Amino acid sequence: MTAPTRPVAATTSVATTVTAPPSALTGTAPAAPAAPATTTARAGASRPAGAGPGSRRRSWLRPSARRLARRALLRALVPTLLVAAWCAASYGGLVREIYLPTPTAMWSAFVDMRDALPGALVTSVGMTLTGYGLGLALGVGMGLAFAYSQLLRDLLGGVLDFIRPTPVFALIPLFLLWFGIGRGPQIALIAMGTSVVLSVTTLDAVRNVSPTHIRAAATLGATRRTIYRTVVLPSIFPHLLGAVRFSAAAAWGLDVAAELIGSQNGLGYLMMTRQQYIDTAGVLVVVVIYGLLATVLDRVIVLVERPLTAWTTREQPSATETAFRAG
């Protein structure tokens, strides 16, 4: 008796057709899949027109250029309004010419003084720069000595605190009695005034040096000279440069005071001569020249100061300024 045989299902081979990609036939690399239309459209909508690889740099420069132009316009606004008000008041007869001369009268006074101005400029500028240079060397030297020696600060600090509120103009009669009439007393007066400003400012800056920084440097094993070079000097340096600018502006006023000591030439002498003849226009011309000279000297100091103080936070925008710019 034979066992029943199990039916075997016939296997049907299904033929599948595989289509080879064109890259396999041509030997080229397969193309990247195309991005969805919605993604491409969204990316195109988020990118501003004309944006390219250099758009970030251009977008950074444009606001900066606009900001600089806006600041230049704001700085020129008030002087322009003042000149317009001056012209309106002087030409309109609102103020008498003896008190406020017209621009035309000032130009006529300048033309009348053009022969005397070169010699007066040489005298005043030379005397001011000489006295300022001597006072700068003396004041900075005293300031650095105060920064290094506590003994000197104790000995001379009280004297400087007494001299600081004393007006320099009150010393003119004493300078006449002590030194007589001549160029030497005039230069000495300018040098004394500028040196006092520098030394007093430096002394205050040294007193405000953080003792925490000094103790930290001493804890790390720094010597006295190292602390002086790496802690004290960098701390007082920005304040010292500020005093240099302030003393430069004061030097021109001291020049006017110094020319009261028997001077026969100079801008201050020329201004006093015009004042005796009640020539208001001539006096204002000399005042404008003094202002221009002081501005030029101040700009020179700023140009020298900027690379020297680039490491300080004073040259960086403050948090308040950054917040206002962002707003």
Percent over 70 (pLDDT), the chain: 75
For the ranges 70-79, 151-160, 162-171, the maximum mean pLDDT occurs at: 70-79
- Asked whether the predicted pLDDT for residue 219 surpasses 90, the reply is no
The Cβ-side half-sphere exposure at 161, using a 13 Å CA radius, reads 8
pLDDT computed for residue 165 by the predictor? 78
Q: Which tops the pLDDT comparison, 12 or 179?
A: 179
Of residues 234 and 284, which shows the higher confidence score? 284
Reference 132, options 182, 181, 183, 195; nearest CA is 195
12 vs 241: which has the higher pLDDT: 241
Higher-pLDDT residue of 307, 230: 230
Q: What is the pLDDT of residue 306?
A: 77
**Between the CA atoms of 178, 182, 184 and 187, what dihedral angle is there, to the nearest 10 degrees?**
100
pLDDT category of residue 49 using cuts at 50, 70 and 90:
very low
Q: Between 197 and 49, name the one with better pLDDT.
A: 197
Residue 226 confidence (pLDDT): 86
pLDDT attached to residue 284: 92
Tell me the angle at which helices 117-148 and 183-207 cross, rounded to the nearest 10 degrees. 40
The answer for residues whose C-beta is within 8 angstroms of residue 176's C-beta and 6 or more apart is 185, 261, 262
Q: What is the mean pLDDT of the segment spanning 264-282?
A: 87
- Choice among 101-105, 225-229, 284-288 with the minimum mean pLDDT: 225-229
Specify which of 154-158, 237-241, 247-251, 319-323 reaches the highest per-range mean pLDDT: 247-251
Backbone angles phi, psi at 326, to 5 degrees: -65, -35
Highest mean pLDDT among 21-30, 80-89, 150-159, 252-261: 80-89
Q: Average pLDDT over the chain, rounded to whole?
A: 76
